[in-house]
Chains A and B, each alone.
Chain A
Amino acid sequence: MMDLAVRDIRHDLGRFVLTALGLGMLLSIVLAMTGIYNGMVVDATVLPDTLGADLWVVQRDTKGPFAESSRVPLRLAERLRAVPGVSRTRSYVSFNVQRTGVDGRVQRFMLAGLSWPDDTGDLLLLAQGRSLRAPHYEVVVDVSLGLPLDAQLSIGRDVFSVVGITSGMVSSGGDPMLFVSVADALNIQNDLSNEALRLEGEARLARVRRSEYGRDPASLARAGQPRLPALTPPPVNAVLVDVQPGQDPVALRQRLEQWPDISVYTLEEQRALLVRGVIDRARRQIGLFRTLLVVISAIVMGLIVYTMTLDKMHSLALLKLLGARRGVILRLILEQSMLLGLLSFFVALLIGELLFGHFPRRVLVADSDRLALAGVVAGISGAAGLVGLRKALSADPNQVLAS
């Protein structure tokens, strides 16, 4: 039996291709939504995944730096290093920075501190350059920040040299990440201007004058001398703990949980916190939007196949008059619907290949997502075909005699 579906398509190929292009664009948005959804999850978890610590030790009764403010003493890393079963500890600090670049554009990024020299950034996804080799004034930046190697970057009152460029290292908000040593990060975070230092000194002198020490001229003289404002090192956000090979991280965690000043989370818990907590609403919103798009695609495709069937009602009535079996009509309608779906699917894939890389945030489409979309398109095509088929089977052979 000749292929009626293909012959009908061939007869009006331009219209069919344009229809498939339109539908393909719609499906490409479904694919983009899936990719953005996946990208958000990867973006959110790329940092803990890359750092790869077994345990995250944070301020007691907090969820850690990805969820809320967490401050632990810098020396906590040394205390933890002394615990049996711990192979390495790293201090962790991160904060968002928004500044105006030399070109006048607003730059927003997340700055993270690496526990130099224990962690120089060797685990980062370096695309160019190298990790940190000095404790100060070197920075590894993500490629999405747009800076070349050896560029000079001014943050706070210091100038950093770009020594390495990572690829895909972004925060859960999609901002590029920058890595400096913990010491530099703390300096930037706690830096005070000269005026702030002067005012702080004035305030200290006034406090001494109001106290009983103000009656002692020697005390007053000491309070008025310029000196560093902080006597203790500033806190970090967390300490990352690597467990020795063969040691059970859960058992170690249970031991550490008995310390009154800290809470401990596994890597999986931190990941879950990011996925279910930090990006949960955006994730659900995109998921719902994607579902809505699938429904819209199904409706649009159903209408297209229905219209294509309406255009052929006379031919279908003639086929019935000539005694064509239902299978002939069924094949004609369903095959066209499937071919439309297939072409639209490949158009969607092509659009994805060409455009998704230029999106401002990571769009991550896996083979399983393409396969799932193929399944969805097959389902939609089948359902649309059934809509058309219902109409097709109602074609009345009398119509041919009446015409």
Chain B
Amino acid sequence: MTEPARRTVVSAENLSKTYGEGALRVEALKPTSFEARAGEVVAILGPSGSGKSTLLTILGLINAPTTGSLRIGEVQVIENALPRTSLERQRRQQIGFVFQRSNLIPFLTAEENVRLSLEIDGVNAYESRKRARALLENLGLDKRLLSLPAKLSGGEAQRVAIARALIHRPSVVLADEPTASLDSGRGRQVMELFRDAAHAQGAAVLVVTHDHRTLDLVDRILEMEDGRLTERARAPGVGRSPA
């Protein structure tokens, strides 16, 4: 593993989220601290309602935590529950998102969907086109560059979504059930893509998943239950060797 792959790229400290007040108060995420390093693929498991999505929205800088601090890459994004910088810009530059459904913009071609992540951050059209084509060709989508999402298969659309999440070289990729709508083979391909991308780009990949078929491809497994996050010990030989 190269040196940059060992950097801590996500550092959460005492992150918590509470909804409502008084008798209606719900603690969706209990104070949680964890780190993820560059090149790591981390799975987050847990039943529905355990707080996985809440954690994901906080890490994705969509919702603010009630308490805690968060560092992504070199930037202290949230300190004592208050934003320290433009969250919009951090989302644009430091985070990539992948979802259960591909969530591609229906009126943009595959190439344009990928370019979008670069162009909303000010990269010019020539550069964005060049990088998007190169990445999509790497993912075996060179024949589908000009296809609209409606014309892509589920697996192709999900690969385009992954390309969109990776094209701007984020510090962290947040994936919410990315293999749920794919068959076993496609699901493994997607997880392998994440693993390769994490390595190649030095990004941490946090995958919320129920799909136990692909857990052997992740580096660490975190379990979430009743808003509390714990690390699961792994049987020797299962999954990847630690970075």
Contacts and interface: CB of A to CB of B under 8 A. Distances in A.
Interface residues of B, number: 33
A323 B125 contact: no
A324 interface: yes
A312 to B, nearest CB: 8
B230 to A, nearest CB: 23
B148 A11 contact: yes
B152 interface: no
Interface of A: 1-2, 4, 7-8, 10-12, 314-315, 318-319, 321-325, 328, 397-398, 400-401, 403
Contact of A322 (B91, B106, B148): B91
Contacts of A12: 107
Contact of A321 (B53, B89, B97, B101): B97
Contact of B125 (A2, A315, A318): A2
Contact of A7 (B56, B97, B112, B117): B112
A322 B108 contact: no
A401 B103 CA distance: 9
A325 B63 CA distance: 17
A67 B101 CA distance: 76
Contact of A2 (B88, B91, B92, B116): B116
Contacts of B53: 401
A403 B112 contact: no
Interface string B55-66: 011001011000
B116 A322 contact: yes
A1 B120 contact: yes
A320 to B, nearest CB: 8
Contacts of A4: 107-108
Nearest to B97: A321
Contact of A401 (B89, B95, B176): B176
A324 B92 contact: yes
Given A11-B106, A398-B57, A401-B99, A321 B62 contact: yes
12 contacts: A1-B119, A1-B120, A12-B107, A315-B107, A321-B62, A322-B116, A323-B88, A323-B93, A325-B88, A400-B99, A400-B103, A401-B57
Contact of B89 (A7, A319, A323, A328): A323
Contact of A403 (B95, B97, B99, B122): B99
Interface string B140-183: 00000000100000000000000010000000000010000000
Contacts of A401: 53, 56-57, 60, 62, 99, 176
Interface in B39-88: 53, 56-57, 60, 62-63, 88
B195 interface: no
Interface in B83-136: 88-93, 95, 97, 99, 101, 103, 105-108, 112, 115-117, 119-122, 125
B107 A8 contact: yes
Given A8-B107, A400-B99, A401-B56, A322 B92 contact: yes
Contact of B91 (A10, A314, A323): A323
B53 to A, nearest CB: 6
A10 B106 CA distance: 11
A317 to B, nearest CB: 9
3 nearest A-B pairs in the assembled complex, by CB-CB distance: A323-B92, A11-B107, A323-B91
B120 A324 contact: yes
Contacts of B62: 321, 397-398, 401
Contacts of B93: 323
A328 B97 CA distance: 19
Nearest to B117: A322
Nearest to A397: B62
B120 A325 contact: yes
A167 B107 CA distance: 53
A7 B99 contact: no
A12 to B, nearest CB: 8
Contacts of B101: 403
Contact of B121 (A2, A7, A323): A323
Nearest to A403: B101
A399 to B, nearest CB: 10
B120 A319 contact: yes
Contacts of A397: 60, 62
A318 B62 CA distance: 11
A10, A12, A322, A324: most-surrounded residue (chain B CB, <10 A): A322
A11 B149 CA distance: 11
A314 B102 CA distance: 12
Contacts of A315: 105-107
B63, B105, B106: most-surrounded residue (chain A CB, <10 A): B105
Nearest to A318: B103
B107 A2 contact: no
